[in-house]
Amino acid sequence: MRAVVVSQWGGPEVLTETELDRPEPGPGEILVRVHAAGVNPVDWKTRATGGLISWGPVPAVGWDVSGTVEAAGPGVTLFQPGDEVFGMPRFPHQASAYAEYVTAPARHFVRKPANIDHTGAAALPLAALTAYQALLDTAGLTAGQRVLIHAAAGGVGHLAVQIAKAYGAYVIGTASAGKHELLRSLGADELIDYRSADFAEAVGADVDIVLDSVGGDYGQRSLAVLKPGGHLVTLPSPDDVPAEAPGVHTGWTLVEPDYAGLKAVAALVADGRLRPVVDTVLPLAEAAKAHEIGERGRTTGKIVLTVA
Protein backbone atom coordinates (compact mmCIF):
# COMPACT_ATOMS: atom_id res chain seq x y z
CA MET A 1 0.00 0.00 0.00
CA ARG A 2 1.00 3.63 -0.43
CA ALA A 3 1.87 5.45 2.79
CA VAL A 4 3.55 8.67 3.85
CA VAL A 5 6.36 8.23 6.38
CA VAL A 6 8.92 10.40 8.13
CA SER A 7 12.47 9.90 6.85
CA GLN A 8 13.90 11.89 9.78
CA TRP A 9 12.57 14.53 12.18
CA GLY A 10 12.42 17.92 10.51
CA GLY A 11 10.48 20.13 8.13
CA PRO A 12 7.70 19.15 5.70
CA GLU A 13 10.30 17.92 3.21
CA VAL A 14 10.99 14.86 5.39
CA LEU A 15 7.55 13.43 4.52
CA THR A 16 8.08 10.72 1.91
CA GLU A 17 5.57 8.57 0.05
CA THR A 18 6.60 4.92 0.02
CA GLU A 19 5.24 1.37 -0.30
CA LEU A 20 4.53 -0.62 2.87
CA ASP A 21 2.97 -4.02 3.48
CA ARG A 22 -0.77 -3.81 3.96
CA PRO A 23 -1.54 -4.47 7.65
CA GLU A 24 -3.81 -7.29 8.82
CA PRO A 25 -6.41 -6.82 11.57
CA GLY A 26 -5.78 -8.66 14.81
CA PRO A 27 -8.36 -9.77 17.38
CA GLY A 28 -10.79 -6.94 18.08
CA GLU A 29 -9.47 -4.88 15.19
CA ILE A 30 -10.74 -3.79 11.78
CA LEU A 31 -8.91 -3.07 8.55
CA VAL A 32 -10.10 0.21 7.03
CA ARG A 33 -9.52 1.26 3.43
CA VAL A 34 -8.79 4.96 3.86
CA HIS A 35 -10.71 7.37 1.65
CA ALA A 36 -9.50 10.55 3.37
CA ALA A 37 -7.17 11.53 6.21
CA GLY A 38 -7.40 14.69 8.28
CA VAL A 39 -4.37 16.86 9.01
CA ASN A 40 -3.88 18.31 12.50
CA PRO A 41 -1.26 20.45 14.28
CA VAL A 42 -0.10 17.39 16.21
CA ASP A 43 0.88 15.87 12.85
CA TRP A 44 3.44 18.53 12.01
CA LYS A 45 4.59 18.96 15.60
CA THR A 46 5.44 15.25 15.88
CA ARG A 47 6.94 15.23 12.38
CA ALA A 48 9.33 17.95 13.51
CA THR A 49 10.51 16.45 16.80
CA GLY A 50 8.90 13.06 17.45
CA GLY A 51 6.88 14.59 20.30
CA LEU A 52 4.94 12.38 22.70
CA ILE A 53 4.13 9.71 20.13
CA SER A 54 5.08 6.05 20.51
CA TRP A 55 6.63 5.39 17.08
CA GLY A 56 6.88 2.10 15.25
CA PRO A 57 9.90 0.89 13.29
CA VAL A 58 8.76 2.98 10.28
CA PRO A 59 7.56 6.37 11.57
CA ALA A 60 4.30 7.17 9.81
CA VAL A 61 2.04 10.13 10.51
CA GLY A 62 -1.65 10.91 10.84
CA TRP A 63 -4.62 9.89 13.00
CA ASP A 64 -7.85 11.17 11.42
CA VAL A 65 -9.42 8.51 9.17
CA SER A 66 -12.60 8.12 7.15
CA GLY A 67 -13.03 5.06 5.00
CA THR A 68 -14.62 1.67 4.42
CA VAL A 69 -14.19 -1.47 6.46
CA GLU A 70 -12.24 -3.96 4.37
CA ALA A 71 -12.01 -6.78 6.92
CA ALA A 72 -12.84 -7.50 10.56
CA GLY A 73 -10.56 -9.41 12.89
CA PRO A 74 -11.64 -12.18 15.28
CA GLY A 75 -14.23 -11.12 17.84
CA VAL A 76 -15.42 -7.97 16.07
CA THR A 77 -19.20 -7.62 16.00
CA LEU A 78 -19.63 -3.84 15.59
CA PHE A 79 -18.73 -3.67 11.91
CA GLN A 80 -18.55 -5.79 8.81
CA PRO A 81 -16.87 -5.30 5.42
CA GLY A 82 -18.46 -2.49 3.47
CA ASP A 83 -19.41 -0.34 6.47
CA GLU A 84 -18.38 3.30 6.20
CA VAL A 85 -16.60 4.48 9.34
CA PHE A 86 -14.51 7.33 10.70
CA GLY A 87 -12.31 7.64 13.75
CA MET A 88 -9.07 8.60 15.48
CA PRO A 89 -7.30 5.27 15.93
CA ARG A 90 -4.61 4.56 18.52
CA PHE A 91 -3.77 8.15 19.54
CA PRO A 92 -1.24 9.00 20.96
CA HIS A 93 0.34 5.84 19.59
CA GLN A 94 1.23 5.62 15.93
CA ALA A 95 -1.75 5.00 13.64
CA SER A 96 -0.30 5.69 10.16
CA ALA A 97 -3.42 7.40 8.82
CA TYR A 98 -1.60 8.87 5.82
CA ALA A 99 -1.91 5.53 4.05
CA GLU A 100 -4.25 3.46 1.92
CA TYR A 101 -5.10 1.07 4.79
CA VAL A 102 -5.21 1.34 8.57
CA THR A 103 -5.83 -1.24 11.30
CA ALA A 104 -7.03 -0.36 14.79
CA PRO A 105 -9.38 -1.52 17.55
CA ALA A 106 -12.94 -1.54 16.23
CA ARG A 107 -14.13 0.77 19.00
CA HIS A 108 -11.77 3.50 17.84
CA PHE A 109 -14.27 4.02 14.98
CA VAL A 110 -17.97 4.77 14.58
CA ARG A 111 -20.26 4.67 11.57
CA LYS A 112 -19.99 7.66 9.26
CA PRO A 113 -23.24 9.66 9.11
CA ALA A 114 -24.89 9.47 5.70
CA ASN A 115 -25.14 13.26 5.40
CA ILE A 116 -21.38 13.82 5.28
CA ASP A 117 -18.81 12.62 2.75
CA HIS A 118 -15.46 11.04 3.58
CA THR A 119 -13.59 14.33 3.19
CA GLY A 120 -15.79 16.01 5.77
CA ALA A 121 -15.74 13.02 8.09
CA ALA A 122 -11.93 12.87 8.01
CA ALA A 123 -11.85 16.47 9.23
CA LEU A 124 -13.71 15.59 12.42
CA PRO A 125 -12.30 12.95 14.77
CA LEU A 126 -9.27 14.42 16.53
CA ALA A 127 -10.46 18.03 16.59
CA ALA A 128 -14.08 17.25 17.45
CA LEU A 129 -13.13 14.75 20.16
CA THR A 130 -10.67 17.28 21.59
CA ALA A 131 -13.44 19.87 21.83
CA TYR A 132 -16.01 17.39 23.13
CA GLN A 133 -13.77 15.91 25.83
CA ALA A 134 -12.46 19.32 26.92
CA LEU A 135 -15.88 20.94 27.17
CA LEU A 136 -18.07 18.06 28.37
CA ASP A 137 -15.77 15.66 30.20
CA THR A 138 -13.12 17.98 31.62
CA ALA A 139 -15.02 21.24 32.20
CA GLY A 140 -18.48 19.69 32.74
CA LEU A 141 -20.32 22.06 30.39
CA THR A 142 -24.01 22.56 31.18
CA ALA A 143 -26.72 24.55 29.42
CA GLY A 144 -26.69 28.28 30.11
CA GLN A 145 -22.98 28.56 30.84
CA ARG A 146 -20.78 31.17 29.17
CA VAL A 147 -17.90 29.68 27.19
CA LEU A 148 -14.94 31.57 25.71
CA ILE A 149 -13.21 29.78 22.83
CA HIS A 150 -9.86 31.12 21.67
CA ALA A 151 -8.88 30.66 18.00
CA ALA A 152 -12.56 30.01 17.35
CA ALA A 153 -12.11 29.64 13.59
CA GLY A 154 -9.35 27.03 13.87
CA GLY A 155 -9.59 23.28 13.52
CA VAL A 156 -10.64 22.64 17.13
CA GLY A 157 -12.18 26.06 17.65
CA HIS A 158 -14.85 26.03 14.95
CA LEU A 159 -16.05 22.60 16.11
CA ALA A 160 -15.95 23.67 19.77
CA VAL A 161 -18.20 26.62 18.94
CA GLN A 162 -20.80 24.26 17.48
CA ILE A 163 -20.53 21.63 20.22
CA ALA A 164 -20.83 24.22 22.99
CA LYS A 165 -23.83 25.75 21.25
CA ALA A 166 -25.46 22.34 20.75
CA TYR A 167 -25.24 21.76 24.52
CA GLY A 168 -26.88 25.08 25.33
CA ALA A 169 -23.95 27.39 26.04
CA TYR A 170 -23.60 31.11 25.32
CA VAL A 171 -20.53 31.08 23.05
CA ILE A 172 -17.91 33.82 22.83
CA GLY A 173 -15.06 33.45 20.35
CA THR A 174 -11.80 35.21 19.58
CA ALA A 175 -10.89 35.40 15.89
CA SER A 176 -9.81 37.93 13.29
CA ALA A 177 -12.66 40.11 11.99
CA GLY A 178 -12.70 38.43 8.58
CA LYS A 179 -13.80 35.15 10.17
CA HIS A 180 -16.66 36.54 12.26
CA GLU A 181 -19.36 36.01 9.65
CA LEU A 182 -18.50 32.31 9.37
CA LEU A 183 -18.46 31.89 13.14
CA ARG A 184 -21.85 33.55 13.50
CA SER A 185 -23.22 31.08 10.97
CA LEU A 186 -21.83 28.28 13.16
CA GLY A 187 -23.62 29.60 16.23
CA ALA A 188 -21.23 31.99 18.00
CA ASP A 189 -23.15 34.54 20.09
CA GLU A 190 -20.36 37.07 20.58
CA LEU A 191 -17.07 37.61 18.77
CA ILE A 192 -13.91 39.53 19.62
CA ASP A 193 -11.27 40.58 17.10
CA TYR A 194 -8.08 39.69 18.97
CA ARG A 195 -6.13 42.03 16.68
CA SER A 196 -7.96 45.16 17.80
CA ALA A 197 -9.33 44.38 21.27
CA ASP A 198 -8.21 42.91 24.57
CA PHE A 199 -10.51 39.94 25.09
CA ALA A 200 -10.22 40.19 28.88
CA GLU A 201 -11.57 43.74 28.86
CA ALA A 202 -14.25 42.92 26.29
CA VAL A 203 -15.59 39.83 28.08
CA GLY A 204 -15.45 40.74 31.75
CA ALA A 205 -15.17 38.32 34.66
CA ASP A 206 -18.29 36.23 34.02
CA VAL A 207 -17.09 33.23 31.98
CA ASP A 208 -17.61 29.65 33.15
CA ILE A 209 -15.24 27.88 30.73
CA VAL A 210 -12.28 29.01 28.64
CA LEU A 211 -10.96 26.70 25.92
CA ASP A 212 -7.43 27.79 25.00
CA SER A 213 -5.98 26.30 21.82
CA VAL A 214 -3.49 29.18 21.37
CA GLY A 215 -1.14 28.78 24.30
CA GLY A 216 1.57 31.24 25.27
CA ASP A 217 0.23 33.97 27.56
CA TYR A 218 -3.42 33.31 26.64
CA GLY A 219 -3.92 31.03 29.62
CA GLN A 220 -2.61 33.55 32.14
CA ARG A 221 -4.63 36.36 30.54
CA SER A 222 -7.75 34.19 30.51
CA LEU A 223 -7.79 33.79 34.29
CA ALA A 224 -9.18 37.32 34.57
CA VAL A 225 -12.41 36.40 32.75
CA LEU A 226 -13.27 33.29 34.78
CA LYS A 227 -15.92 33.18 37.48
CA PRO A 228 -14.96 31.57 40.81
CA GLY A 229 -15.04 27.83 40.21
CA GLY A 230 -14.62 28.28 36.45
CA HIS A 231 -12.51 26.06 34.21
CA LEU A 232 -9.55 26.92 31.98
CA VAL A 233 -8.77 24.01 29.65
CA THR A 234 -5.43 24.33 27.85
CA LEU A 235 -4.72 22.32 24.70
CA PRO A 236 -1.30 23.14 23.16
CA SER A 237 1.06 22.14 25.99
CA PRO A 238 1.15 21.61 29.77
CA ASP A 239 3.76 24.38 29.80
CA ASP A 240 0.99 26.84 28.85
CA VAL A 241 -1.08 26.18 31.99
CA PRO A 242 -0.81 29.10 34.48
CA ALA A 243 1.33 28.26 37.50
CA GLU A 244 -1.13 29.59 40.08
CA ALA A 245 -4.86 30.03 39.69
CA PRO A 246 -6.65 30.23 43.06
CA GLY A 247 -10.40 29.77 42.92
CA VAL A 248 -10.55 28.25 39.43
CA HIS A 249 -9.73 24.93 37.79
CA THR A 250 -6.86 24.82 35.30
CA GLY A 251 -5.19 22.02 33.39
CA TRP A 252 -3.95 20.54 30.17
CA THR A 253 -5.93 17.84 28.38
CA LEU A 254 -4.83 15.34 25.74
CA VAL A 255 -7.47 13.80 23.51
CA GLU A 256 -8.09 10.02 23.72
CA PRO A 257 -9.85 7.50 21.47
CA ASP A 258 -13.42 7.55 22.74
CA TYR A 259 -16.22 5.41 21.27
CA ALA A 260 -18.99 7.13 23.26
CA GLY A 261 -17.67 10.61 22.53
CA LEU A 262 -17.27 9.89 18.84
CA LYS A 263 -20.82 8.51 18.69
CA ALA A 264 -22.03 11.76 20.26
CA VAL A 265 -20.09 13.72 17.62
CA ALA A 266 -21.59 11.58 14.85
CA ALA A 267 -25.09 12.16 16.25
CA LEU A 268 -24.56 15.93 16.16
CA VAL A 269 -23.46 15.66 12.54
CA ALA A 270 -26.45 13.49 11.64
CA ASP A 271 -28.77 16.02 13.30
CA GLY A 272 -27.25 18.91 11.35
CA ARG A 273 -25.87 20.58 14.47
CA LEU A 274 -22.18 20.02 13.68
CA ARG A 275 -20.40 20.49 10.38
CA PRO A 276 -16.69 20.68 9.68
CA VAL A 277 -15.29 23.52 7.62
CA VAL A 278 -12.71 22.14 5.20
CA ASP A 279 -10.23 24.81 4.13
CA THR A 280 -7.96 22.79 1.84
CA VAL A 281 -8.12 19.36 0.16
CA LEU A 282 -4.97 17.80 -1.30
CA PRO A 283 -3.99 14.34 -2.54
CA LEU A 284 -1.94 12.05 -0.30
CA ALA A 285 1.16 12.68 -2.42
CA GLU A 286 1.04 16.35 -1.37
CA ALA A 287 1.16 15.71 2.38
CA ALA A 288 4.24 17.93 2.67
CA LYS A 289 2.32 20.83 1.09
CA ALA A 290 -0.54 20.22 3.54
CA HIS A 291 1.91 20.57 6.44
CA GLU A 292 3.41 23.73 4.94
CA ILE A 293 -0.04 25.29 4.72
CA GLY A 294 -0.98 24.21 8.24
CA GLU A 295 2.18 25.54 9.82
CA ARG A 296 1.43 29.04 8.52
CA GLY A 297 -1.35 29.21 11.12
CA ARG A 298 -3.90 30.87 8.84
CA THR A 299 -6.17 27.91 8.13
CA THR A 300 -9.89 28.31 8.73
CA GLY A 301 -11.20 24.89 9.77
CA LYS A 302 -9.35 21.83 8.58
CA ILE A 303 -6.96 20.44 5.94
CA VAL A 304 -7.73 17.02 4.49
CA LEU A 305 -5.79 14.56 2.32
CA THR A 306 -7.68 12.40 -0.16
CA VAL A 307 -6.35 8.86 -0.31
CA ALA A 308 -8.67 6.42 -2.13
Q: Same domain, yes or no, for 150 and 119?
A: no
Domain assignment present for 267: no
Residues 13 and 38 in one domain: yes
Same domain? 114 vs 185: no
- 84 with 143, same domain? no
Residues 9 and 79 placed together within one structural domain of the fold: yes
Give me the phi and psi of 127, to 5 degrees please. -70, -45
User: Left (φ > 0), alpha (ψ -120 to 50) or beta: where does 216 sit?
Assistant: left
For residue 114, report the phi and psi dihedrals to the nearest 5 degrees. -70, -20
Q: List Cβ neighbours of 245 (8 Å cut-off, separation of 6 or more).
A: 223, 232
Q: How far apart are CA 297 and CA 301, in angstroms?
A: 11
pLDDT at 81: 98
The closest of 138, 127, 195, 137 to 161, measured between CA atoms, is 127
Which residue type sits at 245?
A
List C-alpha distances in Å: 252 to 8, 23, 60, 186: 28, 34, 26, 26
Instruction: State how many domains the chain has.
Output: 2
> How would you class 7 by CB atoms within 10 Å of its CB: exposed for 0-12, middle for 13-18, buried for 19 or more?
exposed
Domain co-membership, 72 together with 9: yes
Give yes or no: residues 117 and 6 share one domain: yes
- pLDDT tens-digit readout, 7-37: 899 999 999 999 999 999 999 999 999 999 9
Same domain for 100 and 23, yes or no, is: yes
Domain membership of residue 52 (yes or no) is: yes
Query: Tell me, what's the pLDDT at 52?
Result: 76
Please give the pLDDT value at position 245.
Answer: 85
- pLDDT per residue over 236-264, tens digit each? 999 999 987 889 999 999 999 999 999 99
Q: Answer with the one of 237, 252, 267 that is the final residue of a domain.
A: 252
Q: What is the pTM of this model?
A: 0.96
Predicted pLDDT of residue 222: 96
Q: How far apart are CA 177 and CA 228, in angstroms?
A: 30
Name the β-bridge partners of 31: 71, 103
Same domain, 224 and 162: yes
Q: The CATH number of the domain where 168 resides is what? A: 3.40.50.720
Per-residue pLDDT of the chain (308 residues; tens, 9 = 90+): 999 999 899 999 999 999 999 999 999 999 999 999 999 999 999 999 888 777 877 888 999 999 999 999 999 999 999 999 999 999 999 999 999 999 999 999 999 999 999 999 999 999 999 999 999 999 999 999 999 999 999 999 999 999 999 999 999 999 999 999 999 999 999 999 999 999 999 998 999 999 999 999 999 999 999 999 999 999 999 999 998 788 999 999 999 999 999 999 999 999 999 999 999 999 999 999 999 999 998 899 999 999 98
Query: Does residue 265 belong to any structural domain of this protein?
Result: no
Between the two ends of the chain, the Cα-to-Cα distance in Å is 11
Q: Give the span between the Cα atoms of 143 and 168, in whole angstroms.
A: 4
Answer yes or no: is 94 within a domain: yes
- The reply to whether 206 falls in a domain is yes
115 and 139 co-located in one domain: no
In angstroms, what CA-CA distances link 56 with 80, 288, 302? Answer: 27, 20, 26
Cα 55 to chain centroid, rounded: 20
Q: What is the CATH number of the domain that holds 297?
A: 3.90.180.10
Cβ(63)–Cβ(126) below 8 Å:
yes
Q: Are residues 140 and 50 in the same domain?
A: no
**In whole angstroms, what is the distance from residue 305 CA to residue 6 CA?**
16
- Are 84 and 26 contained in the same domain? yes
Q: Would residue 36 count as lying in a domain? A: yes
**Is residue 7 included in any domain, yes or no?**
yes
The answer to whether residue 257 is domain-embedded is no
Predicted confidence at residue 51, as pLDDT, reads 80
Domain that holds residue 136: 131-252
- The confidence score (pLDDT) of residue 58 equals 80
